[in-house]
Structure 1
Amino acid sequence: MRLDTDRIYIRRLELNDLNSLLDLRIRNREFFKPFEPSAPASHYTVEGQRSILEKVQHDWSNGSRYGFGIFLKNNNNLIGRVNLSNVVRGAWESCTLGYFLDEQYNGQGYTTEAVRLALKFAFGPGGLHRVQAGVMPRNKASIRVLEKAGFRYDGFSEYYLKINGVWEHHNLYSITQEYWEI
């Protein structure tokens, strides 16, 4: 499955994306650090990224998480990830959204495009009804991505996630199929 805009596309990450993903993670290690949970040193190795990609394949096949790579159309370079995680079926039909983008491409609208494509999947083939995201209040760029993609502010949650070793407060956002614009 591949979803496109004029500038980027997203598709399921595959094992042959290993070297590109490892390079992306290593180059952006310090840039991502203030916004992500602490990762062991093995996260930045071939073995660590292989394990992540194997989990992506497993989770995709059982429908519990959909991990996409964000690629530039002009050169097919991997520039980020967008994930629909913690998929719950039944009466909830929901998931959580996460994403990151290479520092050199930030501020150019690529993340918003990728999130919109992930929503197209979520509310189409993914069969979901709601997508939610948590963002630290100081992460203004990420908040703007969600707002531009149509997410609505749901509220504030204290000590929501442990980020870089600290329990951080988060603003919670969501979008449902009823509010999504194709």
Structure 2
Amino acid sequence: MTEAPRERMVVGVPGRAWPNELISGTDPVVRLRPIARSDARAWRTARRRNAVWLGPWDATAPPGSDARPTSFRALVKRLRKAARRGTTYPFVVEVDGVFAGQVSVNNIVRGSAQFASVGYWIDQQFAGRGVIPRAVAMVIDHCFFLGGLHRIEICIRPENSNSLRVVEKLGIREVGYAPYFLHIDGEWRDHRIFAVTREEAPRGVLVRLDRQIT
């Protein structure tokens, strides 16, 4: 597997996709690590504080679904089990050591596809500081260069201007439009589909972001 330059990022365990942690060499310091049961208090506090901020973009259970609200402990157990199966990488985002949100690699498909989707959320107090663009870039590069994935997809509601700015900053192209794609905030919502492949970012996505900044 070809290792590409990933300026301004340190990988905790070289050569291992998961579990692992990623640390930026920037100010503020962005650290990505596996979600843990010890995050319960910080996670609940952030979600309560940001209920209005995050509510319009949160996934919900459609009518007739057997999905039920679960405890944070059950959530972590489910995510760690999926991570062991290799179908997800559930990262927590820290900013200068403070819990700030999540970036999750979901629906990992191997075989001839080598594909995954990425989702994220950020505490409003850290918004506008370049944290999520950097965290998403770090995760995509990790998926490409250590996870062996070929294509990463990000699905965004057309109304979510903050999230649309993330893919714009990272130079990720729009590839389609999916009507009634996901059940979000109580309704089936349309989404714009963005994707990037290894061929489009041979040196990684983080390099693109750093070139804009420097």
Please give the TM-score of this superposition, normalised by the length of structure 2.
Answer: 0.78
Kept in 1: contact 2:122–2:132 (CA 8 A):
yes
Q: Matches of 1:161 and 1:42 in 2, distance apart?
A: 18
> CA separation of 1:41/1:27 partners in 2, compared to 1, >3 Å: closer, same or farther?
farther
- 1:5-16, aligned counterparts within 5 Å? 5=24, 6=26, 7-16=29-38
Instruction: Return the letter of the residue paired with 1:93.
Output: Q
SS state at 2:158 partner: coil
- 1:138-149, aligned counterparts within 5 Å? 138-149=159-170
- 1:55 aligned onto 2:70: no
- 1:38 Cα shift? 2.5
User: 1:101-137: per-residue Cα shift (whole Å, max 9, x none)?
Assistant: 0011111110001101111211122111110011011
- 1:41 Cα shift? 8.7
- 1:104 aligned onto 2:125: yes
- 1:21 Cα shift? 1.4
- 1:42 Cα shift? 4.2
Q: Which residue matches 2:197?
A: 176
Q: Matches of 2:86 and 2:169 in 1, distance apart?
A: 27
Instruction: Return the letter of the residue paired with 1:16.
Output: S
Select the structure of larger CA radius of gyration: 2
User: 1:143-172: per-residue Cα shift (whole Å, max 9, x none)?
Assistant: 110121231110111111111111111110
- 1:27-176, aligned counterparts within 5 Å? 27-38=49-60, 42-43=69-70, 48-73=71-96, 76-176=97-197
Instruction: Return the letter of the residue paired with 1:104.
Output: Q
SS state at 2:166 partner: helix
Kept in 2: contact 1:157–1:171 (CA 8 A):
yes
Kept in 1: contact 2:37–2:72 (CA 8 A):
no
Q: Matches of 1:20 and 1:177 in 2, distance apart?
A: 35
Instruction: Return the letter of the residue paired with 1:3.
Output: L
Gaps of 5+ in 2: 1-19, 62-66, 205-214
Please give the TM-score of this superposition, normalised by the length of structure 1.
Answer: 0.91
